[in-house]
Amino acid sequence: MEPKLIDGRAISAAVKADVARDVTEFTQQTGVIPGLAVIIVGDDPASCVYVRNKCRACRETGIASFEIALPKETTEEVLLREIDTLNRRADVHGILVQLPLPRHIREEVVLRAISPDKDVDGFHPVNMGFLLSGRPRFAPCTPAGVMELLDRCGISVDGMHCVVIGRSNIVGKPMAQLLLARNATVTVCHSHTEDLPFYTRSADLLVAAVGKPRFVCADMVKDGAVVIDVGINRLSEGLCGDVDFATVSAKASAITPVPGGVGPMTIAMLMKNTLLAARLLACPPVEPRA
Ligand code: NAD
């Protein structure tokens, strides 16, 4: 059986085209241009590339972008003041702080300072709570991108056994919640899991978010499984995922490559979340009374 290659580049372009169309319509109706502020502290080369790509995606989709570049010596207090200003700005609907931050700044304090209404990365405890309650508002962009890939490929996880390797707040945990919200049976594995292959071999859908090159090999995968590789590992010969693509693709019914799978989806979902933030701020939903 030929595995179906899930083309993240093409699907990401389709999502961005949809967002661009919806932004035009939203702006015509409301006069509001959705705006995304991206804060970067320091000059880490990988972070600079990510920020540049995010601002480029904003231009492609008609979203206004505001890049705030701060020196690496910036204190936590100054960064918090910057966030407070952005929280109050009417032309900023989404705020993103590029991670990682310099070691002297506490990440959890900074992420909590972002208004939950503008938290387009979905890392604020309030938005994590929405996700946990099964009513995601701003779902973290990478796992949300995985769900978008599955949806656009017509893969329903309802009733599937989905195994997620990794339990980070950015990928593994929200991934598990999004799958659960779609009626999957979810197992979360991590560095303390004993006999990992026992779990992965029973997965109808396997998500690898480990951060170890080619960690998932063919004998860990069931025949016909859907395999989603979130890993991005930089090796001297180039990028590679957490899945040994060469061997696993021979068993999988569908698989994401690295690069060109999950990676391109993250920014597309950031654009989608920014438009959602602008919509919610322009016309807040009426919450039913308790
Ligand atoms: P992380 O380091 O925070 O988490 C890794 C997880 O893997 C941990 O929960 C750990 O328990 C688990 N793990 C480690 N060793 C294991 C083992 N031997 N067996 C089972 N589990 C093990 O990483 P993260 O931020 O979740 O990122 C995971 C990968 O996804 C990385 O390669 C990262 O670069 C990539 N990533 C990609 C995107 C994107 O595509 N846009 C976004 C975020 C992260």
Per residue of the chain (290 residues), what is the pLDDT tens digit? 677 999 999 999 999 999 999 999 999 999 999 999 999 999 999 999 999 999 999 999 999 999 999 999 999 999 999 999 999 999 999 999 999 999 999 999 999 999 999 999 999 999 999 999 999 999 999 999 999 999 999 999 999 999 999 999 999 999 999 999 999 999 999 999 999 999 999 999 999 999 999 999 999 999 999 999 999 999 999 999 999 999 999 999 999 999 999 999 999 999 999 999 999 999 877 766 76
Q: Is the CB of 164 under 6 A from ligand 1?
A: no
The pLDDT of residue 3 is 77
Whole-angstrom Cα distance, residue 197 to residue 15?
34
Whole-angstrom Cα distance, residue 182 to residue 155?
11
Fold of 141-263: Rossmann fold (3.40.50)
Do 30-115 and 141-263 come out as alike in CATH topology? yes
The pLDDT of residue 245 is 97
The pLDDT of residue 150 is 98
Compute, in angstroms, the gap from residue 13 CA to the centroid of ligand 1. Answer: 25
Mutating to test ligand 1, I would choose from 168, 233, 243 the residue with most ligand atoms within 8 A of its C-beta, which is 168
The pLDDT of residue 285 is 76
CA 212 to each of CA 191, 224, 250: distance values in angstroms, whole numbers, following the listed order: 12, 23, 21
The pLDDT of residue 14 is 98
Q: Is the CB of 211 under 6 A from ligand 1?
A: yes
The pLDDT of residue 2 is 74
The pLDDT of residue 290 is 66
Structure token pair of residue 40: 């970067």
Rg (alpha carbons) of the chain, rounded to whole number: 19
52: amino acid identity, one letter: R
Neighbours of 237 (CB within 10 A): 6
Whole-angstrom Cα distance, residue 126 to residue 140?
12
- CATH architecture classification, 30-115: 3-Layer(aba) Sandwich (3.40)
**Residue whose CA lies nearest to ligand 1 atom number 31:** 211
Q: Is the CB of 28 under 6 A from ligand 1?
A: no
Q: Is the CB of 142 under 6 A from ligand 1?
A: yes
Domain ranges of the chain: 30-115, 141-263
Whole-angstrom Cα distance, residue 17 to residue 87?
28
Q: Which residues are catalytic?
A: 54, 98, 121
Distance of CA 118 to the CA centre of its chain: 16
Q: Is the CB of 165 under 6 A from ligand 1?
A: yes
Compute, in angstroms, the gap from residue 101 CA to the centroid of ligand 1. Answer: 18
Structure token pair of residue 147: 């769900």
